[in-house]
Amino acid sequence: MGLSVVIMGPPGAGKGTQSDLLAKSRSLPKIATGDIFREAIRQGTPMGLRAKALMDQGQLVDDATVIGIVRERLARPDTASGFLLDGFPRTVEQAEALDGLIAERGLAPLVVMNISVPAEELVRRMLSRRVCKACGTNAAPSDTGVCGACGGELVRRADDTEDVVRNRLEVYDRQTRPLVEFYQSRRAYREVDGAQDAVLVTAALNEALDAVAVRAGQPT
Ligand code: ADP
Ligand code: ZN
């Protein structure tokens, strides 16, 4: 039985970094909707242009577009033995659509992990983080001015300015936080403290995933 994982959390919680590590260690394809949009923006596709206008303001891309992207992505054969979603779902409508896709395709039941971090810390992190202009990878603390993955220039993300960061946190509270309620009564839901050192967050996520994946596979 495969592993269907959702990594949730407010912007700046470390979803991207932790998802990369987990996806690699568990050999799961990582599906990050924010990355998909940033790639579309780099390529200048019509969808990318629409998404950019919303992302630059910290608004969400419309549900129909995001759900369409995830539906197509989950139809690829590499997801048959599992996948890890980063940044999706972000609204209750998206979460309901995901439940539908999982049922329809007979994919493994969802394991949902929520990384929680206090708001002040999120603002601090987003204003100080840097990403690679060329490949989009988050800069590691050891990176010295250039991307450790490709040598590209490290820059602030377009939506990591103070106004946009505040707006993203508001959008999170209004549209994404209700998802915690949507998921938290499920057996395979875990909350992980994202304010601790990144290495400890990774360990906590691995532990939660092991504990919860066993139960997710059991009949309710
Ligand atoms: P963060 O979690 O740090 O905000 P992401 O890379 O996950 O970063 O998302 C960046 C932006 O991409 C969001 O602010 C939003 O505009 C858009 N986006 C990403 N995922 C979704 C989604 N599931 N639904 C709607 N918009 C999304
Ligand atoms: Zn790079």
Instruction: Quick: pLDDT tens for 178-196.
Output: 999 999 999 899 999 999 9
Ligand 1 atom at minimal distance to the Cα of residue 59: 16
Token couple for 194: 């994202």
Which residues line ion ligand 2, judged by CB < 5 Å?
A: 132, 134-135, 137, 147, 149-150, 152
pTM: predicted TM-score of the whole model, two decimal places: 0.91
Measure 219 CA to ligand 1 centroid, in angstroms: 33
Instruction: Quick: pLDDT tens for 9-21.
Output: 999 999 999 999 9
Q: Is the CB of 55 under 6 A from ligand 1?
A: yes
Q: Is the CB of 95 under 6 A from ligand 1?
A: no
Task: Give the confidence band of 220 by pLDDT, cuts at 50, 70, 90.
Answer: very low
Q: Is the CB of 194 under 6 A from ligand 1?
A: no
Instruction: Quick: pLDDT tens for 82-108.
Output: 999 999 999 999 999 999 999 999 898
* Predicted local confidence at residue 217, as pLDDT: 55
Q: Average of pLDDT values for 42-64?
A: 95
